Structure 1
C-alpha cells in the first residue's frame, strides 16, 4: 500500500495512525477530520472539563514523541468513497487516491423533536458542544437531562455539583439500566436522589418547547414535554439519547452497513481494502454472536491495532477476538467500572463489599459462567475479574 487514509480525527483515528506506523507501514498516511481540532479526549467533556477543573489544553491526545509523519486534513469531511478508482471525495472538492482506508468517522448525537437550533438545548459530543454547555451552566437555573446513559448521568452529577437544580428524565426503569442491567442499575439509582437530583424514570420525551424565534433572535427553551403529558420547566436541556453512526458518506460505495460499518471481529469489512474502528464500526462480537457498535474509550483506543494488522496483512493475520467491552464513569465521587456483556447474564451476585456502602464488585453469570463484572469503588478487585473475562474471551474464537 502506497497511501492509507484514516477518515476520522478523534481517538480511534489517532490510534489507527499510531498503529499503522507502529506496525511498520511507511507509506503516505493521510488523516481526514471533520472537526478543526487536533485529536482530543472526549470522556472528560461531561465531567472535569465541564466542571472547569480540567483545562482545555489537557484534553489533547497527541504525545510529544508521536512521530506519525501524517498529513492532517482537518475541518474537512469525506463525502464519498469510490472503490472503482480507489478514491475518497472530500468536502473541499478534492479526490484523495488511496490503497487502504480506515473508517473512524464516529457518530453524531441524536436530538429531540423541536430542539435543533434552539438556544439552551445541548448535546455533549464534541469539544464545541461542551464549551457551549459550560457557558450555559455558568448562568445557573433549572437543568433537565434527558437520557439514562453515561453522558446523561455524568452531566447530572457535574451540574448538581455546580449548584444547578437538576431533573433527570429516563425512559427505562433507572439510569444506566441498558448498560448495567435493571438490578444493578436500581442499586445505583439512589445516588442521584441522595445528591438532590430529581429522577423521573419510565417515561419518554415528546420534545421541547420554548419562546418563539424572532428576527435575529433564536427560540429559547422553556420546557421539556414528557410522553405522559407532563411539562417540566427548563432553562437548560441536555440530550443524551444515543448517537447515530457517521456512515452516510459510504452509501452506494459497496461497503456493507448495518447500524454502522458491518465488520468482522478483526475490524475487516466486505471490502478487503477497508476496515472500520470506533463508534461507527459494528464489530462481530463472538460472545454475543452478533454485530454491535461499542461506543467506549477503551474500544476506540485498543481495537484499531487489530484492524490495522488485518488491513496490512490483507486479512490473513491470525488475530485474537476483541476484548470484552470496558467502560468507567465517575458520578458524585463514586467510580463505576464495567466490563463484559450484561445482556448475556441470567444472574448477578455481589461477590465482595456491600450495596449499602456503595463499594462492591458484582459478577454477572450465564449458566454459571462469568460474562460481565461491575465494580463500584473497588478498582483492584474489579481489575482481577476483568482480566479473567479477557482471558476467557480468547477461547470464544472468531467468526
Structure 2
C-alpha cells in the first residue's frame, strides 16, 4: 500500500482501525483513552494523549510514522520535545525505537488493522485523475462540511493577504495612511501590474500628494512622471503640459523614479486595464479623498458606501485616451466598472480590515470582512467554474474567495487529508 504519513495521522485521529485486542509490538495490552490534540506545529503529531499499556496509565504525546525507522531518519532522538512520547504509531514496525535512557518506546503497528473501507476510499481519492480530486464525490458531501471547509480556506486566504498588508505597514513604521496609499496602488495593478504599481507608490510620499489635493493636474503630473509614462517627445498639448509640470515638481521635491516605462506590462492587457487608465483613476481617487485610511475604515462598511467613495470620474482627457497621446475610437467609461469595484472590495478593503483587526486585536473586524464578502457577487473565473462543473456553485465573494483558497492551498497541492472534505471521504461505512 502506497500512502503519505498524513493518511496514518487521519487513521489515528478518527480511529479508523480495529481496536479489538490491541497490543504493542512488545505484546502488552493497549487501551486508548484519549487520542490527543492534533499538533499542526513542530513537535509530536498528537499532544496530551492518554493510553493504558499493560497495567499502567500514561499521559503524554503520540508520534505517527509510516515506518518505525522514520523516527531515526527524522532525528527525533536529538529533540527533547519527543522525550514525552508515550506511543509510537506506525504502519510498519521495521525497527525497535528507544528512549534516550535506553528504554523501548511503546509501539502500535497498524499493518493489517486499518479498515478496508478506509483504504479503498483513500486509494480512490489518491488515484483520481480529476484536477479537483474529490470532484466526482462532492455531491455526497454534507453541505455543512463543505461550508466549514470553505470558511476555513477563506480565512486562511485573508490571513495571507492581510500579512502582505501588514508587511507594508511595518515598512512605513505604522503609518496607516501611507500604508493604505501603497496598498491601494498595489491592488489597482491587479495581478498584471501589482508590483510596478507598488513601487510607484513607494517613490512618492503620500503626504506630498496630500498637499496637492484639489490639484488634479499636479497629482497626475507627479504620478505619471514617476511611472515613466510621460513620453520624452509629447505629441499632444496635455502630454506636454504633464511633462512640464512633472519636471518642475521632480526638481522641487527631488523625486527619484523607481519604475521605468518598460516595467509596465501591456501585452495581452485589455485597454481598460492599461496602467495609464488605472493611474488616472487613482489620481481621481486621491484628488477627492485625501485621507484614504480614514475613508476605508469609516466610510465603506456597506457596499453602497464603498461605491460612493470610489465611484470617481476621470478627467475628460482619459475618457478619450487609453495612453498619453493615443486617442481612442470610442469613448471610455468615466467611472470604475462594477466588476472593478467588486474586485477592490475583495482585494483592497477586506485584507485591510482584517489586518487592522489583527493589529488592534479586535475580532469584530474579521466578522465585518465575512459579512462584506457575502454582499459582493461571486467572481467568475476558470477556477470557480471547475467547482461549478461538480455542482458546487459560488453565489457570493465569500464562496468564490473560499474556493480560490481551497483550490490553491489544498486541491492544487493535493493536500486532501488536510481538508475536511477529503477527511470526510475517508469515512468508512458504519461499523
Q: Same fold (TM over 0.5)?
A: no
Structure index of larger Rg: 2
TM-score range normalised by the length of the shorter chain: under 0.3
Q: TM-score, normalised to structure 1's length?
A: 0.22
Q: TM-score, normalised to structure 2's length?
A: 0.21
